[in-house]
Amino acid sequence: MITTHISKPPFPAPLHSHSHSNAAAPLPLFRRHRHPHLSKHFSVAVAASPSDLLASVESVASAASVLASIVLVHESGHFVAATSRGIHVSQFSVGFGPALARFRLGPVEYALRAIPLGGYVGFPDDDPESGFAPDDPDLLRNRPVPDRLLVVSAGVIANLIFAFLIVYAQALTVGVPVQALLTGVLVPDVIPGSAAARAGLLPGDVILAVPGAAPDPSVPALVDLIKASPNKKVLVTVSRTGPGIRDKQSLDLTVVPDTSADGTGRIGVQLSPNFRVTRVHPRNLSEATVLAVREFTALGGTVLDGLKQTFLNFSQTAEKVSGPVAIIAVGAEVARSSADGLFQFAAVINLNLAAINLLPLPALDGGTLALILLEAARGGQKIPREIEQRIMSSGILLVLMVGMFLIVRDTLNLDFIKENL
């Protein structure tokens, strides 16, 4: 679990941070069906040659390093915002669990811990051994609302800036991927034994038309047509290429959608727009800036849309939400296939972390911000400490439970784990 503590939890915690408020950054969300060969890479690596195994270990290390650097940037945002305003800070830690290395520089203890899936910035607000008086004006809890808002939101701001810099570096080095929309609807995946499989549809086919119904199909149009046609013949024209096929083939197939529990039709495929990806290389810094802004905006929109779909259709998307094990596995797959892809992997993780952390939920930065804004709306009257700690403790407990569930589930779903159980 990626968790950011800028305060001491109201219940005993192994990190022993001392501060005033709580905030946690949960895991970025990923849909695993976009990476259908993820587990295969791991199972192959187990039985591979030493050089292949080394490459696999290096790719996993690259993905873990990206994740750790994103946590470091998030925590640095909180830390820089606090110290720049003269607010007392007692600890800065990357990782959880036992300390691998630590040192003290001035009043701050810096630590690198064994589990690089989180971190925290500690404030001495509630530490009786800190030597600071309870009414010290430079304790975080005693600072004006604007200062506290800045400190709490600085982690998110740092992630957004880092994401843009990553995209900008991508534009300057390997170029920005641009999608050119092509005719038809792509079929990336077909479920074995489904209506589509029985009809002869294969992964990689492009549906060019549904004669008499959708001469120029789109994903929404096809979905609506399939849902409205349970147990009815649907003629589709597809284009097919692949190993052993010299030229594109045009085939007419008849699909009979199965009936879902709700009475609608389904054929068991994944559909997506058909597009070709090319890379655009800027000629100067001005063009690089324009490309970076455009790509940053597009990635941000994709992340927000993904979160919206997750919350609006949670029953259907919950199993596709992945934790740190799956995220590192995805990053390792990206690193093995193309180092260029790590740019977008890192940018998307940053944007996910920023977006999720702004949700007004206990234990998230957004939850802490909501409490501070509520205090401001009450004319500066602070929320009773006991109530605030109860809210935060429930949020932290929920985040820890969800995080542990995702870690265990994603670990058990790895092929090399399944094969050895």
- For 359-375, give one letter per residue: b (16+ CB within 10 A) or e: eebbbbbbbbbbbbeeb
Biggest CA pair distance of the chain? 80
352: amino acid identity, one letter: N
Angle between helices 324-337 and 38-46 (to 10 degrees): 80
| Catalytic residue (choose from 58, 75, 129, 295) | 75
Write the DSSP symbol of residue 27.
Answer: P
Q: Is 75 a catalytic residue?
A: yes
DSSP 227-291: HT-TTS-EEEEEEEEETTEEEEEEEEEEE-PEEPTTS-EE--EEEEEEEEEEEE--SSHHHHHHH
> Rounded CA gap, 354 and 328, in Å?
18
Q: Considering just the CA atoms, what is the radius of gyration of the chain in Å?
A: 25
Angle between helices 385-412 and 365-377 (to 10 degrees): 160
Tokens 């587990």: give the residue.
Answer: 39
> Rounded CA gap, 354 and 358, in Å?
6
What are the tokens at 167? 């995209």
Active-site residues, by number, are 75
